[in-house]
Amino acid sequence: MTQLAGVSTPEVLTEARRRRTFAVISHPDAGKSTLTEALLLHARAITTAGATHGKAGRRGTVSDWMAMEQARGISVTSAAIQFEYRDAVINLVDTPGHADFSEDTFRVLSAVDAAVMLVDASKGLEVQTMKLFAVCKQRGLPVITVINKWDRPGAEALDLMDEIRERTGLLPTPLTWPVGVAGDFRGVIDRSSNEFIRFHRTAGGAKTAEPERLSVAVAAAEEGAAWVTATEESELLAEESQDHDEARFLANETTPVLFAAAVLNFGVQHILDTLVDFAPAAEAREDASGGHRPVDSAFSGFVFKVQSGMNASHRDHVAFVRVCSGQFRRGMIVTHAASGRPFATKYAQHLFGREREVADEAWPGDIVGLVNASALRVGDSIFELEPVEYPPLPMFAPEHFRVVRSADSSKHKQFRRGIDQLDHEGVIQVLRSELRGDQAPVLGAVGPMQFEVVEERMTHDFGAAIRTEALPYQLARRTDRASAEILGHDRQVEVLMRSDGTLLALFSTPWRLRNTVRDHPELMLEDLATGSNEVPAAY
């Protein structure tokens, strides 16, 4: 039996097999944070769900801890929550609920082993849903689909199955099937046993809805035509080979489907059971060289998020680390792959929304918050013993640009510290040039709501109110110094440097980019997503 820093290989493998690490993803307003609360409620991790009906009585959900999130009722930052269910350890990562924060969502998807995709029963596969399906497929993440809001009027269940199959290329294999049309949710057929699971309403969905299992005979007698229709549709699915196959699910060929009403806690326990029974445990992850580091190797992990302002009293910041291999031990000395320098993990915590508890140990699949590890940036790898570096996380091409200045010139130090910290966290991309100087850097964002987060954080976290001014640029291209000298003579183009050293050429319009490429084909003007120097026909 081999030993890794005092822990046996079988112990690491046992703990890794217990982990289920997944993200909840969907189009905005599909109910991600509500589902997160409902899952915690059914796992007995909380006693009362935070989402209640009516604005006057609304409480913030556990995963939405920022004041802006609680005020608007949307998630603008990812949140990691760990809890136990049955014999498994669940690491749930709630993701931003708005398309403007897609970059944060994509980073989260690099740190999980599966995804729960929430689909609104009335709206089907929306734009953001399709983007996330594509990313999951590209990353090889198995996807469990939950048709949410079945308690409201919506599409036909079979039509939704056809839409999933046609638009995602994944074969839907329902584990449950609704009895009653959308808006008349009576319960579901458990397709593995053919039992009828009837759900009972609870006041405002604040408490768990305990399922009642009934035999086929009782269900047929009590539900009548609705039961007959549901069983006929379930049999049709079986004839089309739309039954769950674990191998095909893990190969990203199929997606198990469950029907639920998260706000009323209908179908939520079945989601938990599905995660434990079918979702993959932590496995060997690919490193930057193309190899795979086994989970029973010495400790390693990577940072997928850095967040400050979670503790208003101490103004600390937390690096979220996905444990990829070995055992993490609080206080252990690890090596920062980017710099080669060692550092001690003295302050390590598990997070439950904004609440924390000391993390003495963690295993592959877990997410650990390293407090005040100021050297760590998003995408950094850390390890013990054998060196390893995991693939870098993508940075999106910004599409919105604003100059930012301190509203109070006497608070320049706070202004500089705040902007640098938000850049460090990946909240915003900070672009600078000698011409503009540090007094007026340019902020680049994927979506305009990112600027609102910056204003909120700068005012409340750093005590430095800001003023912003929109710039007339619509797109950015990666360039080099030789090209930058030529572009510097064009008044409709500005070249700035991102904090990672990348030079970005900002163009006022796609037309301006096309003309520049036509007049100077020798220039380096790479698309940040594809690396191509070509201008798409759509431009």
Quick one: pLDDT band at residue 352, thresholds 50, 70, 90? low
Give 455-491 pLDDT, tens digit per residue: 998 998 889 999 999 999 999 999 999 999 999 888 8
Please indicate if the annotation marks 420 as binding a ligand. no
Average of per-residue pLDDT across 339-346: 90
Which whole-number Å values give the CA distances from 459 to 121, 138, 380, 427, in the listed order?
39, 38, 28, 15
| Range in 224-228, 245-249, 371-375 the model is least confident about | 371-375
* Higher pLDDT, residue 490 or 13: 13
Please tell me which residue, 98 or 439, carries the higher pLDDT value. 439
How many alpha carbons lie under 13 Å from residue 287 in its C-beta half-sphere?
A: 19
Residue 512 inside a domain? The answer is yes
Identify whether residues 350 and 455 lie together within a single domain: no
Written as one string, the DSSP assignment of 326-345 is S-EETT-EEEETTTTEEEE-
pTM for the complete prediction? 0.81
For the cut 90, the answer to whether the pLDDT of residue 316 exceeds it is no
Query: What is the structure's pLDDT at 63?
Result: 43
pLDDT at 208: 67
The verdict on 119 and 213 lying in the same domain is yes
Residue 81 belongs to some domain of the structure: no
Looking at the structure, tell me whether residues 258 and 290 fall in a common domain. Answer: no
Selected residue with higher pLDDT from 207 and 130: 130
Our CA angle for 335, 337, 339, nearest 5°, is 90
Cα–Cα distance for residue pair 106/398, rounded to 1 Å: 15
- Dig out the tokens for 307 from the structure: 């967040």
Is 46's pLDDT higher than 90? no
The average pLDDT across 310-333 equals: 81
- Which SS3 state, helix, strand or coil, does residue 279 take? coil
Q: Is there a single domain that holds both residue 308 and residue 273?
A: no
Distance, in Å, from the CA atom of 302 to the CA atom of 322, rounded to the nearest integer, reads 6
User: Which structural domain, as residue segments, surrounds residue 360?
Assistant: 285-383
Q: What share of the chain is helix, strand, coil (3-state, %, to 5)?
A: 30, 30, 40
pLDDT (mean) for 320-335:
94
Q: What is the pLDDT of residue 105?
A: 78
- 68 with 196, same domain: the answer is yes
DSSP secondary structure letters along 398-461: P-EEEEEEESSGGGHHHHHHHHHHHHHHTSSEEEE-TTTTTTS-EEEESSTHHHHHHHHHHHHT
pLDDT at 62 over 50: no
Question: Within 10 A of 371 (CB to CB), how many other CB atoms are there?
Answer: 17
Instruction: Please answer whether residues 528 and 397 qualify as being in contact, where contact means their C-beta atoms are separated by less than 8 angstroms.
Output: yes
One domain, residues 274 and 311: no
For residue 393, the one-letter residue type is L
Tokens of 396: 């999106």
Confirm whether 53 is domain-assigned.
yes
Say what the pLDDT of residue 50 is: 43
Q: What is the pLDDT of residue 315?
A: 56
pLDDT of residue 351 exceeding 80, the answer is no
What is residue 69's predicted lDDT score, i.e. its pLDDT?
Answer: 45
Q: Is 53 annotated as belonging to a binding site? A: no
Q: Evaluate if residue 53 carries a pLDDT over 50.
A: no
Does residue 31 lie within any of the structural domains? yes
Q: Is the pLDDT of residue 145 over 70?
A: yes
Whether 291 has a pLDDT exceeding 90, the answer reads yes
Q: Average pLDDT for residues 56-82, to the nearest whole number?
A: 49
**Is pLDDT of 495 > 60?**
yes
Cβ atoms of 295 and 16 closer than 8 Å: yes
| Mean pLDDT, all residues of the chain | 85
Question: pLDDT tier at 56 (50, 70, 90 boundaries)?
Answer: very low
Q: What mean pLDDT is predicted for residues 432-454?
A: 90
Say whether pLDDT at 70 is over 70.
no
Query: What CATH number should be reported for the domain holding residue 140?
Result: 3.40.50.300
Instruction: List strand residue ranges (DSSP E) for 449-518, in order.
Output: 466-470, 475-479, 493-498, 503-507
Q: How confident is the model at residue 391 (pLDDT cuts 50, 70, 90)?
A: very high
- What is the reported pLDDT for 163? 96
How many Cα atoms occupy the beta-carbon half-sphere of 311 within 13 Å? 15
DSSP H/E element including 217: helix 216-223
State mean pLDDT over 327-352: 89
Q: Which two tokens stand for residue 479?
A: 């360039």
Q: Give the whole-number percent of the chain exceeding pLDDT 90.
A: 56
412 is in an annotated binding site: no
The residue-averaged pLDDT of 215-235 equals: 94
End position of a domain, from candidates 278, 300, 322: 278
262 and 340 housed in the same domain:
no
Domain match, 157 and 215 both: yes
Residues 34 and 124 in one domain: yes
Domain annotation covers residue 3: no
Indicate the length of the chain as a whole number.
539
Are 305 and 214 within one domain? no
Whole-number pLDDT of residue 209? 62
H or E element that contains 324: strand 317-325
Q: Tell whether 98 is in a known binding site.
A: yes
pLDDT at 77: 46
180 belongs to a structural domain: yes
Check which CATH number belongs to the domain holding 470 and give it. 3.30.70.3280
99 confidence band (pLDDT: 50, 70, 90): low
User: Of 235, 262, 278, which residue constitutes the final position of a domain?
Assistant: 278
- Is 45 part of any domain? yes
Lowest pLDDT segment from 224-233, 323-332, 382-391, 485-494 = 485-494
Strand-pairing partners, residue 257, are 145, 174
Statement to judge: residues 216 and 361 lie in one domain? no
CA 30, CA 32: separation in Å to the nearest integer? Answer: 6
Total structural domains within the chain = 3
Looking at residue 206, its pLDDT comes to 59
Residues 193 and 335 both lie in one domain: no
* Residue 151 included in any domain: yes
